[in-house]
Amino acid sequence: MTNESMMEIARNVVSLAKQKGASEVAAVARVKREVDVTWRDGKLDKITEATSRGLEVRLFVDGRYSACQTSDLRPEGLAPFLENAVALTRTLAKDPHRSLPDPALYMKSTPEGLSIADPRIESITALDLRRAAQSLEEAARSVKGSEAILSVTTNGNHTWMETTQVHSNGLEGNFTSTEFSISADVTIKDADGRRPEEGDYGWVRMYGDLPDVATVGRRATERALSRRGAKKIASAQMPVLLDNRPANGFLGYLLRPLSGASLQQKRSYFEGLVGKTFGSDKLDFADDPLLPKGLGSRPFDGEGLAARRLPIFEKGVLKNHYIDTYYGKKLGMPPTTSRSSNIAWKLGTKNQAALALDVKEGILITSFLGGNSNDTTGDFSLGFQGFMIRGGKIAEPIAEMNVSGRHQDVWKRLIAVGNDPFIHSASRTPTLVFDGMQIAGT
């Protein structure tokens, strides 16, 4: 189905919903095609190829609001769907804060240079993905010490999506996006009977930007083998290097309470802090939906607001929240954007090895294993595994450890940011260095 036909469906839905009594309407139509291949221990485990399409209709009727979905896009299916949806909306309580965004905030033209759709996806088949998954396992089992491997699971995936959005107050937009990914997960047997598991992956917009399959497979096994003999260490407060991969998750705990919903519902430790210092001057990044090839790039957000770069922290000072139209009205704040996109960090000049040399003695966290972070108080407690840093070098593995603290305190202790953003994530976090965090072990 083409952009033109989905646009026509969305336009017709808006027109029909208004005929049936809606004062304002937003129609969001999506078509998605995905191919996914999983290979496990020398044989094909699963292969799926599916195309789906659906429609979300946001209705504003007599001061009331609802959002309804359907996968039946036939004209004879849409008419009764909309009639029922409008009637249902009339039974809900009124909410004076519900409305479509101000049309002045819509995009005037589609931004150029996003590079988020790869036409090559039409030539990438399920057989290509199967071959990649098989090659990933072969590479994983080629590493010295691979006799310790218990199991290898690999995956290849590509996804194509078309999004079309039409609002009754002026927005008409559509865009196409693609994603490609490969991954390998390796489980090994340790001398004490434990089964460490590690992996590696690549996730990109353009097929040609995927990392080398053999490199990903080998790295997965090397990471798993490096976990052998991991032990707890004594509890202490010490410097921490946070690897750029798990740093994505830690950043998520920072971004989550920046939402308008968290602020309005008094569930945010950022309440009242715009314009004030929250972290060290190394905490410096913006939200950038216009980053070429970015996994979070988009011409407009989920409610149709035009994409624009939004400063979040500048030298530790909080500059903005993620505010959509609804919570903006409730809070008396102008909308910014409904959700995060790409995070563009002000990077440092050193790689992880150089940062470890600066730390001299501490730990490197390579993954988090469960835990929690409280959006209201800022308290967090997270399980992790990683390595000791001794004499500025990565040393023995450690495991079954816990790191805890308060975000309001920890981000003030951020003393360095690496030059190595993790490009296989929209958060694009570099290695982060904290001069002291509370570590719990034996």
Can you read off the two tokens belonging to residue 135? Answer: 């090659």
Q: Select the more confidently predicted residue: 1 or 96.
A: 96
pLDDT at 194 over 90: no
Q: Which of 186-200, 326-340, 345-359, 414-428 has the lowest mean pLDDT?
A: 186-200
Instruction: Return the DSSP state at 211.
Output: P
Please list the residues that pair with 50 across neighbouring strands. Answer: 34
DSSP assignment string, 354-377: HHHHHH-SEEEEEEEEEEEE-TTT
Residue 55 amino acid letter:
L
Residue 46 amino acid letter:
K
CA distance linking residue 174 with residue 239, whole number of Å: 47
pLDDT at 143 over 80: yes
Confidence of residue 266 (pLDDT cuts 50, 70, 90): very high
Residue 192's pLDDT is what? Answer: 84
Residue 4's pLDDT is what? Answer: 66
Q: Look up the pTM and report it.
A: 0.94
Residue 178's pLDDT is what? Answer: 98
Domains and CATH numbers, the chain: 3-225 (3.30.2290.10), 236-440 (no CATH)
Residue 3's pLDDT is what? Answer: 56
Comparing C-alpha atoms, which of 420, 433, 430, 366 is closest to residue 395? 366
Q: Is the dihedral of CA 77, 82, 84, 85 positive or negative?
A: positive
Residue 147's pLDDT is what? Answer: 95
Residue 58's pLDDT is what? Answer: 98
Residue 171's pLDDT is what? Answer: 96
Instruction: Give helix 213-225 / helix 126-140 axis angle, nearest 10°.
Output: 40
CB atoms within 10 A of CB 237: 11
User: Tell me: the pLDDT tens digits for 26-66?
Assistant: 999 999 999 999 999 999 999 999 999 999 999 999 999 99
Mean pLDDT on 390-411: 96
Residue 442's pLDDT is what? Answer: 85
pLDDT at 252 over 80: yes
Please list the residues that pair with 365 across neighbouring strands. Answer: 242, 386
Q: Which helix (H) or strand (E) holds 285?
A: strand 285-287
Residue 292's pLDDT is what? Answer: 97
Residue 1's pLDDT is what? Answer: 44
